[in-house]
Structure 1
């Protein structure tokens, strides 16, 4: 498989998880139309009131990198940054071994 899988976790300042999630969901709507996007989902853990998780599958890392140039994405990143409790950590890049729907 040559797809690109990225798991990320963003930690919001206290009380900002919901607003951060809204921004990321809006971003998912924008990048879901980008070339090579197979999956872009936002989640949270029931026992964690600060973190928001992002799971992305792309045809390639290059397609993922290009998605950051899609109109509106940079604006949403700028909107999300003040809500974060520190700089975002690098996402975890994983090798896809298989599975349904890919």
Structure 2
């Protein structure tokens, strides 16, 4: 069951959207059992705008994960690809369909 989640919108440095997407899709720390949803998408109008939707079993599980060394190393790789502040919106995924 998902009780914590969010939708994040990130903007890559100009021309680095593909790198950002590749890094997110190859997140070495995922999957973890408490992360039930991890979706990566991008803007059709601007390939440097990337969206991530996450769903977790709890806020505490999410916090524990991001305190880990693996997660901190991942964030350190992510930061140089980004420009500006990422925008986070409270969101709890409830269902749907993904065919990729």
Identify the TM-score tier after normalising by the shorter chain.
Answer: 0.7 to 0.9
Equivalent in the alignment of 2:76: 78
What value does the CA root-mean-square deviation take over the aligned residues? 2.2
Deviation at residue 71 of structure 1 after TM alignment: 4.0
Whether contact under 8 Å (1:42, 1:54) holds in the other structure is: yes
Whether contact under 8 Å (2:6, 2:92) holds in the other structure is: no
Structure 1 unaligned segments of length 5 or more: list them: none
TM-score, normalised via structure 2 length: 0.80
Whether contact under 8 Å (2:2, 2:57) holds in the other structure is: yes
Structure 2 counterparts to residues 1-102 of structure 1, below 5 A:
3-27=3-27, 29-33=28-32, 35-89=33-87, 91-95=88-92, 98-99=94-95
Aligned length: 97
Structure 2 unaligned segments of length 5 or more: list them: none
Deviation at residue 78 of structure 1 after TM alignment: 0.8
